[in-house]
A and B are shown apart, each in its own frame.
Chain A
Amino acid sequence: MSTNLILIVVTAALINNVVLSQFLGICSFLGVSKQMKASFSLGMAVIFVITIASAVASLLYDFVLKPLGLDYMKTIIFILVIAALVQIVEMFLKKTSPAIYTALGIYLPLITTNCAVLGVALTNVQNGYNFIESVLCGFGTAVGYTLAIVLLASIRSRIHEEDIPAPLRGAPIVLISAALMSIAFMGFSGLSF
Chain B
Amino acid sequence: MNKYVERLYNGLVKENPTLILMLGMCPTLAVSTRAMNGIGMGLSTTAVLILSNVVISLLRKVIPDDVRLPAYIVIVASLVTVTELLIEAYLPSLYAALGIYIPLIVVNCIILGRAEAYANKHDPVLSFFDGLGMGLGFTIALTLAGMIREFLGNGTFFGMQALPKGIDPIGIFVQPPGAFLVIALIIAIQNAIGIKTRQRSLVEDGCDGICANCSARCGKGQPEEVSAK
Interface stretch (choices A52-60, A61-69, A93-101, A169-177): A169-177
Query: Contact: A118 with B197, CB < 8 Å?
Result: no
- B183: min CB distance to chain A, Å: 6
Query: Contact: B26 with A25, CB < 8 Å?
Result: yes
Does A110 touch B at the CB level, under 8 Å? yes
Does A130 touch B at the CB level, under 8 Å? no
Max chain B Cβ within 10 angstroms of own Cβ: one of A22, A75, A176: A75
Cα–Cα, bound, A76→B188 (Å) = 38
Q: Residue of A at shortest CB range from B181?
A: A179
Residues of A within 8 A of B27 (CB): 23
Q: Residue of B at shortest CB range from A84?
A: B70
Interface stretch (choices B36-44, B120-128, B129-137, B198-206): B198-206
Given contacts A76-B74, A109-B216, A118-B106, contact A171 B172 (CB under 8 A): no
Query: Contact: A179 with B180, CB < 8 Å?
Result: yes
Interface stretch (choices B2-10, B57-65, B80-88): B80-88
Name B140-196 residues within 8 Å CB distance of A. 172, 175-181, 183-185, 187-189, 191-192
- A109: min CB distance to chain B, Å: 4
Query: Contact: B197 with A79, CB < 8 Å?
Result: no
Q: Residue of B at shortest CB range from A20?
A: B176
Does A1 touch B at the CB level, under 8 Å? no
Does B109 touch A at the CB level, under 8 Å? yes
Given contacts A31-B202, A167-B189, A175-B187, contact A113 B104 (CB under 8 A): no
Residues of A within 8 A of B77 (CB): 75-76, 79-80
Query: Contact: A73 with B104, CB < 8 Å?
Result: no
Residues of B within 8 A of A118 (CB): 103-104, 106-107
Max chain A Cβ within 10 angstroms of own Cβ: one of B104, B185, B200: B104
Cα–Cα, bound, A87→B215 (Å) = 9
Cα–Cα, bound, A183→B172 (Å) = 9
How many chain A residues touch B (CB < 8 A): the figure is: 58
Does B47 touch A at the CB level, under 8 Å? no
Given contacts A73-B81, A167-B191, A182-B177, contact A24 B103 (CB under 8 A): no
Residues of A within 8 A of B96 (CB): none
Query: Contact: A179 with B215, CB < 8 Å?
Result: no
Residues of B within 8 A of A122 (CB): 100, 103-104
Query: Contact: B26 with A23, CB < 8 Å?
Result: yes
Residues of A within 8 A of B207 (CB): 106
Query: Contact: B85 with A180, CB < 8 Å?
Result: no
Residues of B within 8 A of A80 (CB): 70, 73-74, 77
Does B112 touch A at the CB level, under 8 Å? yes
Does A102 touch B at the CB level, under 8 Å? no
Residues of A within 8 A of B103 (CB): 74-75, 118, 122
Q: Residue of A at shortest CB range from B112?
A: A113
* Beyond known contacts A38-B204, A110-B213, A167-B192: 19 more, CB 8 A cutoff: A23-B26, A27-B208, A34-B204, A35-B204, A38-B205, A75-B103, A79-B107, A105-B206, A109-B216, A112-B213, A112-B215, A113-B107, A118-B107, A119-B100, A122-B104, A167-B188, A167-B191, A179-B179, A182-B180
Q: Ordered nearest first, which 3 A-B pairs have the shortest CB separation?
A: A31-B202, A179-B180, A175-B184
Q: Please, could you name 11 A-B residue pairs with CB atoms under 8 Å apart, sorted by A?
A: A31-B200, A31-B208, A38-B204, A38-B205, A80-B74, A83-B73, A112-B215, A167-B188, A167-B192, A172-B185, A174-B184
